[in-house]
Amino acid sequence: MKTSNKSFTVKSYLALLFISSFVVSFQSFSGNWTTENNLSGMDTVHIYLPSTPPKINNKRALMINLHGCLMSNTDMKKHAGWVDTADLFGMVVAIPDVPGKGAFSMACWDYYGKEHTRKNKHNDEIIKLALELTSRANLNIDPKQVYITGFSSGGGQANVIACLAPDIFSGVGSLAGPGLGTTASEFKKVPSNYSADNQAALCKKMAGTKAINLNSQIYSTIHGAADPIVSSDFNEYAANIMANVYNSLNVSKVKTIDTDGVLSIYSDEQGPRISKITINNMEHKWASNGANLGYFTNTKVDYPKYITQWFFDNNRRINMIGKKNN
């Protein structure tokens, strides 16, 4: 019995040692969320730093993600499904909360109207945040791999930033975003006088002296066809606006995707520039592998993973142009 007990004790110890080593290894592979207050004019910013290595040129990408109206950055942190994607790509994710109470005291980003500059509305804070994080040596961010995505009013704000700061953001993604240049009341239906040509001209005007950087920017738009809040017609307009901005691209590929939707890729002679996804039967939701509640669904596209892969494959500011078509 003594021999048996000793054998059991040794085996148990070895088993526990193996399990402990596995747990430590797993934990060391996981990244960490931190929260900073009053960063670049934002009330709070949640920042995720993975411990996994960066994918390209030993430098990390940065993804800024904007929430929608009646939401917070904590909602996005908890439910938007960024962690797995950030770990997969070794990417830093920053999720700011709209300054103060936001537009109309509804936590909305102020994407409204046509009078945008790099210094007014919420544009200044977003640009400063990107520059601040990129300047931090410990984050090891590549200025050529800075991206922004947003949902609802955050998607509308991302559309604004695409035009105002193409020198900073190499890729922009909007999910269920209202159209560029629309007012606070023009989100349920596309205005009768709204046109891709006019809004493209507005975008180029907003870019000003930075317009040359639009030549190397890429763009994504995605919308649920059953969205009862923001008209899904803005999806088509968003793609056509940026196709005009990027100089008359052609739709080079259209395919049905597994989650009951359609993916369209707009390309030029160098490869893909715009990705447009329409998801049938999806309402006003952020789509990911995260939560399935409120403004979030996990039964459709994993947009964080999709858009990050698409940006990485098609970024024109690094040596990765046109590796894939989707």
The domain segmentation of the chain, as residue ranges, is 1-30, 34-314
Q: Say what percent of the chain tops pLDDT 70.
A: 88
pLDDT tens digits, one per residue of 84-122? 999 999 999 999 999 999 999 999 999 999 999 999 999
* Residue 272 to residue 219: CA distance in whole angstroms: 9
How many Cβ atoms sit within 10 Å of the Cβ of residue 55?
17
Short-list 243, 221, 242, CA closest to 233 = 221
Average pLDDT of span 63-70? 98
* H/E segment holding residue 31: none
- Going through the chain in order, the beta strands assigned E by DSSP cover 32-39, 42-49, 60-66, 92-96, 141-151, 171-175, 218-224, 250-257, 261-268, 271-279, 286-287, 296-297
Residue 21 pLDDT grade (very low, low, confident, very high; cuts 50, 70, 90): very low
Residue 253 pLDDT grade (very low, low, confident, very high; cuts 50, 70, 90): confident
pLDDT of residue 18: 37
Residue 138 pLDDT grade (very low, low, confident, very high; cuts 50, 70, 90): very high
- Which of the two residues, 30 and 310, has the higher pLDDT score? 310
pLDDT for 28 beyond 80: no
Quick one: 18 exposed, middle or buried, by C-beta within 10 A (0-12, 13-18, 19+)? exposed
pLDDT tens digits, one per residue of 151-162? 999 999 999 999
Residue 260 pLDDT grade (very low, low, confident, very high; cuts 50, 70, 90): confident
pLDDT of residue 25: 33
pLDDT of residue 19: 36
Name the CATH superfamily for 34-314. Alpha/Beta hydrolase fold, catalytic domain (3.40.50.1820)
Residue 208 pLDDT grade (very low, low, confident, very high; cuts 50, 70, 90): very high
